[in-house]
């Protein structure tokens, strides 16, 4: 097990380096010169040259990459061009809300998706199964922003039940919960369809397996058969597939944050790109990629932890 974990971590290293390199090159190809921007519009050529030397921008590219890595290791991602705030400070403030939104969405959508998928698989071919299947095909075709706008229009505006802009407060406050509700419903709502579909397929496969027949033959109740013997085994592929869908969730999160003005990394990234704030854009893309690599790694390890048969592989 330990060996497997180490192996996976080692395999993530080249990807990580690639991401860092791309992040670095991203700053090289952008059309603005950071030294000129830092110096301001009234600076003389000597001042700009001085700042360029201070920032290490007169060094060869590989030296600059070394410097960039060194700064990165010290938590220095540069300063926003727009408001002069350190990028790491902004990232620190936005990661929390993004994680909050993603976890809250998963928290309610995964159980519902798994329940729908299991029910559909158990009563395969029934009206209920067809309903769930139709729902998951239709649900998988709804744009995230459509769902968000509809919730804003009905729940937020027409019925005035819940707030729909910004984050009302920390998670332990009532305002925090209320403001999280609609974004989490939106993001989670788009996640039910894929989870239900994957669960249905996985449970169908397990229901036909011999150990399920054995469980039935020894007189176990249907509930115990489905819950302990079928669903439990089906969860292994489902967990992995859910892990692989985290990228899909991330895409949804960026849109959801924008729709609800939720102060997360995704909204920060989009805002930075649209306002040509290159250091901030680079920082947000870097942190999202790193987060993604870590999640992939965790899913990989979790998969092996859940399924001992995979350990030899």
How many chain residues interact with another protein (CB under 8 A)? 54
Single residue of 18, 66, 111, 170 touching another protein by CB under 8 A: 18
Nearest to 257 by CA among 187, 156, 306: 187
251 counts as binding another protein under rule CB under 8 A: yes
Task: Tell me the sheet residues that pair with 63.
Answer: none
Binders of another protein in range 217-246 (CB under 8 A): 241, 244-246
**Quick count: other Cβ atoms within 10 Å of Cβ 122?**
19
Question: Shortest distance, CB of residue 249 to another protein, whole angstroms?
Answer: 9
Q: Which is nearer to another protein, 292 or 303 (CB)?
A: 292
User: What is the C-alpha to C-alpha distance for residues 149 and 71, in angstroms, rounded to an integer?
Assistant: 41
User: What is the C-alpha to C-alpha distance for residues 233 and 31, in angstroms, rounded to an integer?
Assistant: 53
Which stretch of DSSP H or E encloses residue 93?
Answer: helix 87-122
**Quick count: other Cβ atoms within 10 Å of Cβ 219?**
7
259 counts as binding another protein under rule CB under 8 A: yes
Q: Find out whether 218 and 247 touch, Cβ atoms under 8 Å.
A: no
Dihedral sign, CA of 52, 56, 60, 65?
negative
Q: Which is nearer to another protein, 149 or 220 (CB)?
A: 149
Task: Tell me the two tokens of residue 145.
Answer: 């922003």
161 counts as binding another protein under rule CB under 8 A: no
Question: Shortest distance, CB of residue 255 to another protein, whole angstroms?
Answer: 5
Task: Tell me the two tokens of residue 168.
Answer: 């009302």
Question: Shortest distance, CB of residue 205 to another protein, whole angstroms?
Answer: 9
**Quick count: other Cβ atoms within 10 Å of Cβ 137?**
11
Residues 270-309, one symbol each (x = binds another protein by CB under 8 A, - = not), give: x-xxx-x-x--xx-xx--xx--xx--x-------------
Binders of another protein in range 74-113 (CB under 8 A): none
Q: Which is nearer to another protein, 225 or 272 (CB)?
A: 272
User: What is the C-alpha to C-alpha distance for residues 201 and 103, in angstroms, rounded to an integer?
Assistant: 25
Question: Shortest distance, CB of residue 57 to another protein, whole angstroms?
Answer: 19
- Look up tokens 């929390």; give the residue: 96
Using DSSP's 3-state secondary structure scheme, residue 105 falls into helix
User: What is the C-alpha to C-alpha distance for residues 180 and 151, in angstroms, rounded to an integer?
Assistant: 13
198 counts as binding another protein under rule CB under 8 A: yes
Single residue of 1, 13, 21, 22 touching another protein by CB under 8 A: 22
203 counts as binding another protein under rule CB under 8 A: no
DSSP string, 113-155: HHHHHHHHHHTTTSHHHHHHHHHHHHHTTS-HHHHHHHHIIII
Q: Which is nearer to another protein, 70 or 153 (CB)?
A: 153
Single residue of 65, 108, 145, 177 touching another protein by CB under 8 A: 145
Stretch that binds another protein, among 44-52, 216-224, 248-256, 302-310 (CB under 8 A): 248-256
Query: Applying CB under 8 A, which residues contact another protein?
Result: 14-15, 18, 22, 26, 29-30, 137-138, 140-146, 149-150, 152-153, 157, 194, 197-198, 201, 204, 241, 244-248, 250-251, 254-255, 258-259, 269-270, 272-274, 276, 278, 281-282, 284-285, 288-289, 292-293, 296
């Amino acid at each position: 097990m330990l060996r497997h974990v180490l192996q996976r971590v080692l395999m993530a290293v080249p990807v990580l380096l690639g991401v860092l390199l791309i992040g670095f090159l991203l700053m090289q190809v952008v059309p603005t010169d950071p030294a000129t921007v830092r110096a301001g519009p009234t600076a003389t050529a000597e001042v700009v040259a001085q700042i360029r030397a201070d920032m290490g921008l007169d060094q060869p590219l590989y030296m600059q990459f070394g410097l960039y890595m060194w700064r990165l290791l010290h938590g220095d991602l540069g300063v926003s061009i727009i408001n002069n705030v350190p990028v790491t400070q902004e990232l620190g403030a936005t990661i929390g809300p993004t994680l909050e939104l993603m976890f809250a969405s998963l928290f309610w959508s995964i159980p519902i998706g798994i329940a729908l998928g299991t029910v559909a698989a158990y009563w395969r071919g029934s009206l209920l199964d067809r309903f769930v299947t139709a729902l998951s095909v239709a649900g998988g075709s709804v744009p995230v922003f459509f769902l968000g706008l509809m919730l804003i229009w009905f729940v937020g505006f027409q019925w005035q039940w819940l707030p729909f802009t910004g984050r009302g407060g920390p998670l332990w406050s009532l305002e925090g919960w209320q403001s999280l509700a609609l974004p989490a419903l939106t993001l989670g709502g788009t996640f039910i369809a894929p989870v239900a579909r994957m669960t249905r397929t996985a449970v169908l496969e397990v229901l036909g397996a011999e150990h399920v027949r054995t469980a039935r033959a020894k007189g176990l109740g249907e509930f115990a058969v489905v819950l302990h013997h079928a669903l439990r085994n089906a969860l292994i592929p489902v967990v992995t597939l859910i892990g692989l869908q985290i990228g899909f969730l991330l895409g949804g999160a960026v849109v959801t944050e924008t729709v609800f003005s939720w102060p997360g990394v995704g909204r920060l990234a989009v805002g930075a790109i649209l306002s040509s704030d290159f250091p901030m854009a680079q920082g947000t893309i870097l942190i999202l990629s790193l987060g993604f690599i870590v999640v992939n790694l965790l899913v990989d390890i979790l998969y092996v932890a859940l399924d001992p048969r995979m350990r030899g592989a």
